[in-house]
Amino acid sequence: MSEILTWLEMTKTDVLPAAIVSLLISVTVTLISKHLETRDTAEIAYRYEQRKKQHEVIGRHYGRLISAANTLGYRMWNLYANCDRGWLSRERDSDDDGYYFKSTAYRLMNFFAIVRSAEKEAILLDGRIASKKDYLFLNYIDVFHWVMTDTALFEGLTYAHESQCDHFFADEFRRYSELCISTDDQLTFDGFTSGPYTDPKFFPVLRFIEGLTRNEARLRWDRLIALHLLIQAFLNDFGYERQRASKGKFDEIAAQVRNKKVLENLGQWLPKHELGRRDGTRLVARAIVRTGK
């Protein structure tokens, strides 16, 4: 009997810790599994919500931005043919500056009002989660603002970087663009000419356009050529088939530049915006290389 009691006591001592360890392992595994499951579920939900928001933001601005880009592109082609006619002069002694001047200002800033609207919403988005196409769209929004505001485009050329002459200060340009954002989501020409156009805070934009011509020592013309190249790349990537341009058309736009150094600078900065290696901006990069030869 004493031998049996001794055996039971030994069995109890050996088995109990093993059972406890097994239970602890089981509980730990269960908790870890639930944690990972919860984390993965939260991650999936976050990615879903972010992509949904990205589609919503892009969807709100997609059509209007394409239309505004196409209209501004038409004006740039028209300007190449007529820049020496003096149509961008202002009638200082008249209440009427002329349709060509007003409509050029309207097309430029209607485009950038939409860019600014998209930019304000895109700030809250997680670009790491965007699809390839959505991410490309967001990169265009970024580079459109850059090409009008950064003096790096004039690197290597003589230019007074501290004054707003042939470029715009970034935050000031956002303010000019916001003046043109319509509460109806569509800035009309009449709404522009009776609103932002008459606002003194908007006058730096008018001074930028006034008297614009290819045959001048200033650099603003080349800045607009860089903008036009990017607009056409955007239309090639997101526009309708009829709005897309061939390699030859990109070459024609690039050939309008006065200072090839501006195009070189643009080509160097495209990769910093994750552009220039594929899609429409690849045609920009190729046109820059061919124009520089």
Residue 282, pLDDT above cutoff 80 = yes
pLDDT of the residue at 7: 45
Q: Specify whether the CB–CB gap between 88 and 213 falls below 8 A.
A: yes
Provide the CA 81 distance to its chain's centre, in angstroms.
Answer: 29
pLDDT at 9 over 70: no
Contact 168, 224 (CB under 8 A): no
CA 111 to chain centre: 12
pTM: 0.82
The string of pLDDT tens digits covering residues 81-92 is 999 999 998 876
Cα separations in angstroms, 1 against 6, 9, 10, 14: 9, 13, 14, 20
Q: Using an 8 Å Cβ cutoff, are 115 and 176 in contact?
A: no
At residue 8, does pLDDT exceed 60? no
Taking residues 112-125, report their average pLDDT. Answer: 82
What would the two tokens of residue 17 be?
């810790």
Element (H, E) at 247: helix 247-254
Q: How far is CA 125 from CA 113, 145, 273, in A?
A: 19, 18, 17
DSSP code per residue over 129-177: GS-HHHHHHHHHHHHHHHHHH-GGGGTTS---TTS-SSS--HHHHHHHH
Write out pLDDT tens, residues 194-207.
Answer: 999 999 999 999 99
Strand segments, DSSP code E, in the chain are none
Instruction: Find the range with the poorest average confidence among 37-41, 73-77, 140-144, 176-180.
Output: 37-41
Give the H/E segment covering residue 84. Answer: none
